[in-house]
Structure 1
């Protein structure tokens, strides 16, 4: 086994991790919105990356397989996560329908600034109450174990790096869209899209999709 094997395993981990997280979902939608608003980007990105690091490490250690073997826990998470997503979707729909909350003053653009505690609590819930994340971690864990004991942590490190790169790009890159979102109508479209996404995800979870 040589250095090329280690880098290949890390690259595979990064590609696999990105394939699982680079998709339109509740967590990504929230990070994008915070990035556009310019609110608490560093802590939100850090929470996402650190949460992923913990989950990926758990998957490499075999916790993902344990979650797969405990279907009752996944069922509970599914309904709690579904309720949270639908509630968040309804809140986004209300923002889209209320023009008074779509002001273009200051970095937030659309009304009252979200507190740091609220932002961190929301992103934690969107991350940890999503049962799909545990299925993804089970998948990552199984792929990591297939790499062998010498390479599985290189695979995990690659997946963690992919998570950091993605969330940093999403959070800090969103500022380039601020010109477009200076218009209230743009915020209506964004919040409308988030509402549809959240409610669809929540309904899918509740129905077991």
Structure 2
């Protein structure tokens, strides 16, 4: 009996971790911001903690039944969708402007004046104003996890949560390994252009989503 329970728990945990990783490890506004903060070594702990905490809470709410509520109230996602589209578009425009002006070399004296509150506010907006975040964590992960019943749903949620925490930590703190490629302004310009394109694409997908 114990072996069967352990096998079932492991299976649920790995399923949650695998599905969670497949949804989290994708190019998006949130990941692009975490990567950039990691490269600049600006408020990485705050940004990573907020991203992981939001995912953990939303996954818990989804497994707890919040996914069904959101599915029945599509107007909530519509409000988030339009607010998110505007914010993400403006952030993308900001990235294009940064690419045009040039951000300067990556070093300890980099003149990035963004405060911890500014970084926290930005990542909160990028996370919570994106309806795909709710669809992925609350509706999809929560819906699948809730079907497993206790304690399988708890193990499934734990796996998905762990994937989120590991991913954001690795992305934020592992970004510094790419520093040799960002010693030149052109590398930052390319990154900002890529970020800008991603943001505009996300904004367009939100506007034209059906």
Normalising by structure 1, we get a TM-score of 0.95
Alignment map for 1:50-65 (pairs within 5 Å)? 50-65=53-68
Matching residue of 1:203: 204
**CA distances 1:142-167 after superposition (whole Å, capped 9, x unpaired):** 11022112210111011100000100
- CA 1:108–1:26 in structure 2 vs 1: closer, same or farther (change >3 Å)? farther
Alignment map for 1:38-49 (pairs within 5 Å)? 38-49=41-52
Quick one: distance in 1 between partners of 2:93 and 2:68?
34
The count of residues paired between Structure 1 and Structure 2 equals 206
**CA distances 1:55-78 after superposition (whole Å, capped 9, x unpaired):** 000100111121111011111110
RMSD: 1.2
| Cα pair 2:71 2:139 within 8 Å, conserved | yes
Compute the displacement of 1:106 (Å).
Answer: 2.6
Compute the displacement of 1:52 (Å).
Answer: 0.5
Does the alignment pair 1:152 with 2:158?
no
| Cα pair 1:47 1:123 within 8 Å, conserved | yes
Quick one: distance in 2 between partners of 1:69 and 1:23?
27
Matching residue of 2:107: 106
Query: What residue ranges of structure 1 are gaps of 5+ in the alignment?
Result: none
After superposing on structure 2, the runs of 4+ consecutive aligned residues of structure 1 that deviate more than 3 Å are none
Compute the displacement of 1:108 (Å).
Answer: 7.0
Compute the displacement of 1:105 (Å).
Answer: 5.6
Compute the displacement of 1:195 (Å).
Answer: 0.3
Quick one: distance in 1 between partners of 2:25 and 2:68?
23
Matching residue of 1:79: 82
Quick one: distance in 1 between partners of 2:150 and 2:84?
34
Compute the displacement of 1:112 (Å).
Answer: 2.2
- CA 1:194–1:3 in structure 2 vs 1: closer, same or farther (change >3 Å)? same
| Cα pair 1:104 1:182 within 8 Å, conserved | yes
Quick one: distance in 2 between partners of 1:25 and 1:106?
26
| Cα pair 1:95 1:188 within 8 Å, conserved | yes
Does the alignment pair 1:193 with 2:194?
yes
